[in-house]
A and B are shown apart, each in its own frame.
Chain A
């Protein structure tokens, strides 16, 4: 058997516990192969537990373990880094618990926080830089760490309570869907629930980074006075919080 076939057999043993593969790998049937399989599965369970400690608490150990085993059986690791293994655990939770959007959103929060923790560093804008901006031609740069998704449940409140060690609220749907954002400022990860307008504004910026387009969008939805006012509020907040980390103008002059 050549090395490629032999390695394919090892994969079949680890992921499927293939008896035929184990016979080819170790006809003497020693306990060593079982050690490798146990290491493989135990390590992946451990990684998921470490990546999703609050989902683990929220679901309870038994249900979490059931979900972890389903994930390992259906989605073997592919990345070179073990840290990436939990990336699509939310999909597994969706498959297993389709009627529990609180769980999906809680998992998204935990994963986004871990991604933001090691995302590309970004500078903080200074007042001096902002004073010179021609806002009619300004383009906004979002923090590389920023992650956003639609929020339909009180997952943010659940996460915050679990993180603080407080009794979490019962899962509940929001009266009006909004958004959740996660980002990192310096070395601190942040989590915030936002309203539907701010969520839509951030989605818009992903597609079109021009500040005047953002203003037009807000004016269209809120009216002239309220739209302009909200644009100013959001911009000030985003810059202050490190969500917007660069502003450049169409002429090519850049601040970042």
Chain B
């Protein structure tokens, strides 16, 4: 049985093309960077070269979007082989993906589709996580997704599912605060209950991002700054969690790096305040 990876208390940003030059030419004040694994699971060329250069300056977390851990068909060996090769070279802080599925048969939706939280799904996800961790030779982190539909036959809560999944497989958790907020609003559950329900000792990383609001649903778009409600939820989460990494996730409408560093400074301030409160208590 794997055990969740070691803790790392730091603040990082996603490495996106728009900021490659910043990260190559300047000393960006982050404790780590996170990259989308699939963008670098290529045979060669400039992307891998840039990642190697950035790795010389910063620890790197590999965050995937295509493992499809919830696929009823199991996992793809070629995918795992490529991810293993990348991880062996980069020696990442974490290798993570999402509690979701993308692929059925030969079809790949390239979206993070939701799972019903059933015993059948739990058994399947745990089998797939075991296979992935064995193939990678390391424990992974799995992230709670945003979702836009809830299921009639979904007897477990998401946090109970994450808890059971983590304990059965030894994986760690990546807690996306925005996703909790989006799903709680979309499905009418209590975000506080989610935070209280997840096993805090299994969380290794936190994501913060922005979302879009439509007339009757929130959509996880990663194209806007973190909103005030999500910052509040983050503060509550950090009062419950131990040392974890925090990362600002922006995938669209990428702003200047200074804007993202500003959001990261907000996260640092919140954590400092929570630490002060903890010490005072």
> How many angstroms between the C-alpha atoms of A78 and B73 in the bound complex?
14
Contact call B49/A187, Cβ cutoff below 8 A = yes
Judged by a CB distance under 8 angstroms, whether B78 is at the interface is yes
Nearest opposing residue in chain A for B79, CB measure:
A80
Judged by a CB distance under 8 angstroms, whether B110 is at the interface is yes
Known: A26-B149, A76-B107. A119 touches B45 (CB 8 A): yes
- For A77, the chain B residues whose CB sits under 8 A away are 107-110
Judged by a CB distance under 8 angstroms, whether A184 is at the interface is yes
Judged by a CB distance under 8 angstroms, whether A10 is at the interface is yes
Contact call B109/A6, Cβ cutoff below 8 A = no
Task: Report the stretch among B113-121, B229-237, B254-262, B267-275 that lies at the interface.
Answer: B113-121
Judged by a CB distance under 8 angstroms, whether B191 is at the interface is no
Contact call B108/A36, Cβ cutoff below 8 A = no
Q: Whole-angstrom distance from the CB of B38 to the nearest CB of chain A? A: 5
Nearest opposing residue in chain A for B121, CB measure:
A3
> How many angstroms between the C-alpha atoms of A180 and B164 in the bound complex?
56
Chain B: residues with Cβ within 8 Å of the partner, total of: 47
Chain A: residues with CB nearer than 8 A to chain B? 1-4, 6-8, 10-11, 14-15, 25-28, 30-33, 35-36, 39-40, 43-44, 76-83, 85, 116-121, 144, 184, 187
Could you list 20 examples of A-B contacts with CB < 8 Å? A1-B153, A3-B121, A11-B104, A11-B109, A26-B151, A33-B149, A36-B113, A40-B109, A40-B111, A76-B107, A80-B76, A81-B41, A83-B38, A117-B46, A118-B43, A118-B46, A119-B44, A121-B45, A187-B45, A187-B49
Chain B: residues with CB nearer than 8 A to chain A? 38-39, 41-49, 66, 70-73, 76, 78-79, 101, 103-111, 113, 115-116, 118, 120-121, 124, 147-153, 186, 216-217, 219
